Copies of this chain bind each other. A is one copy, B any other.
Amino acid sequence: MTAPAAAWPATRLARALGIALPILQAPMAMAATPALAAAVSNAGALGALGSAMLPLPALAAEVAAVRAATSGGINLNFFCHPAPVAGAAAEAAAAAALAPHHVALGLPPPAPVLAPPVPGFDAGRLDWLLAHPPRVVSFHFGLPPGDAVARLKAAGSAVIATATTVAEARAVEAAGCDAVIAQGWEAGGHRGAFRLEPADRGVGLLALVPQVVDAVAIPVIAAGGIGDGRGIAAALMLGAEGVQLGTAFLSCPEAATAPAHRAVLAAATDCDTHLTAAYSGRPARARITAFGSAFQSAPVAGYPLPRELTRPLVAAAAARGIDDYAFHLYGQAAPLCRPLPAAALVARLAAETAAALSRS
């Protein structure tokens, strides 16, 4: 990848993360695979695993699979969020909210879910990371407590975290992170917002990036709504030193994107997504559905309990070809997706970016 990289501005970020191209594959939980991450890293960018929803043994196995397939770096992503309030009252409320939908699909009443299947970022994950430091550790939904950032850096990992506002970016810098991901309103998947007072107002990437660049001294990674080299070049003009793309990689054959999801991506428009908390308990940009609209801002329970609570609905509807309950995550630039192998996509993105920059 030396040829296209030569046409790019050399960024502090690329040096800090040890990558030829300052392009990060977003660590999409459920969609990123070891094959995708390794292909991206082998192409000179930075591959990632969505580690948050993997039990530790499964995470270790996935990391081993990446390391067997690339000598490049890897970015492991974790979620920082309060534990949900489980228990009788929460269960009753969630069951009442979901009951009509179960009736509509002829399913038995919602079954209780008393605890999330996988905890948020915890001491066990931290200890494992300190013993097996990846090139990059990234955090979503906030920052880890205590001295986790300092310890991860001391162990040799670069640490980055997502912000959706200038105030959140300042918090990421104050926590000692090496870079901040500025996530725009356009982004597919879960909003990384963590300072929720006042409520999330959805700052668009083009307005967000220069304000974050002005507010912090650490490198800024632009994320959300970037689908091709035009968007990457635009992000660099805004002052970002790198970019993170998720949706663009969902159509790669290496991704664990379900066939129904791939079909939706191929037919996506600029305006067929919304933010909904229905499926997970936190706002995520996904294809508009009736179920997603019903619980757009009022989740059926605290994150991540709805993932388990809604599983029977999602599965039953999928089995019958009913789209109203599908949870297809993607961003506003989905129509720019190209179904290319990851290495070819990274090369295409690099060439498009260099071409856009050289036209100016």
Residue numbers of A with Cβ under 8 A of B are: 9, 165-167, 184-186, 198, 200-208, 210-211, 224-228, 230-231, 233-239, 269-274, 288, 331-333, 335-336, 356-360
Contacts and interface: CB of A to CB of B under 8 A. Distances in A.
A202 B227 contact: no
Contact of A270 (B186, B211, B224, B336): B211
Contacts of A273: 201
How many copies the complex holds: the figure is 2
A166 B234 contact: no
A201 B296 CA distance: 13
Contacts of A236: 237, 360
B237 A210 contact: no
A210 B227 contact: yes
Contacts of A239: 230
A271 B196 CA distance: 11
A337 to B, nearest CB: 12
B238 A230 contact: yes
B270 A203 contact: yes
A227 B207 contact: yes
Given A9-B359, A239-B230, A357-B360, A224 B211 contact: no
Contact of A234 (B200, B206, B270, B332): B206
Given A234-B235, A237-B360, A186 B210 contact: no
